[in-house]
Copies of this chain bind each other. A is one copy, B any other.
């Protein structure tokens, strides 16, 4: 058997064309990169798409937390290193370190469920027992995923309604998780982003939306630069998120 890499590193360059209006890495792109490096590492470990689909299973992203000290800028080289912190029959937890050269830019952690593709419910990942051998002791020194709820004590801001269209949907014939991230960020305007940047972003995906469905976003400011958000389809909560900004100085 080939040597299995516990801490899997991928190098990237942030092209100008990928940058947000503040000439930094956009949050949705980082989430895409987390998913991509997780996919590459899972493929390397032979617990990726090919192996799972033979077993009628698929990985589904359940939670992401990310916390950045600094976002990469235009034309800056950066890397993501990913490792498995834990795995059991129902989910795996995978962490990420984002660096630019030797400088640590931030960390992320994620929880992935194994789902049975036909039943569309939690699958049995016992075939992934071998993943336990690659659990790494590397530290991910950001806070755990928080409890997210809207409080009756604070005002709720109702945002836009959005109907999902063809390009929002992916392989699973549901709305792509990255689109939820965009939907949330779009609740603030360009002026706000010119004076604030995302420091911490937590999102949980509870239910999937489908093509043609409409969702609404509500958000609540629970502290200075600290917001809780809910994406709903009627009475169904599809996703909850917490976003903490810092002032751009």
Binding site for B on A (CB under 8 A): 13, 15-21, 23, 26, 28, 32, 35-36, 39-40, 43, 48-50, 58, 74-75, 165-167, 169-171, 173, 176, 182, 185-186, 188-190, 193, 211-212
| Copies of this chain in the oligomer | 2
How far is the CB of A76 from the nearest CB of chain B, in Å?
Answer: 11
How far is the CB of A58 from the nearest CB of chain B, in Å?
Answer: 7
Collect the chain B residues with CB atoms within 8 Å of residue A28's CB.
167
How far is the CB of A160 from the nearest CB of chain B, in Å?
Answer: 8
Collect the chain B residues with CB atoms within 8 Å of residue A17's CB.
32, 35-36, 39, 170-171, 176
Which of the residues B16, B26, B166 comes within 8 Å of A190, measured between beta carbons?
B166
Q: Is the CB of B166 within 8 A of A193?
A: yes
State the CA gap A112–B165 with chains docked (Å): 30
4 A-B pairs with the lowest CB-CB distances in the bound complex, closest first:
A19-B171, A165-B186, A167-B182, A190-B211
Which of the residues B21, B39, B40 comes within 8 Å of A171, measured between beta carbons?
B21
How far is the CB of A108 from the nearest CB of chain B, in Å?
Answer: 16
Q: Is the CB of B190 within 8 A of A74?
A: no
Which of the residues B18, B167, B186 comes within 8 Å of A185, measured between beta carbons?
B167
State the CA gap A1–B72 with chains docked (Å): 29
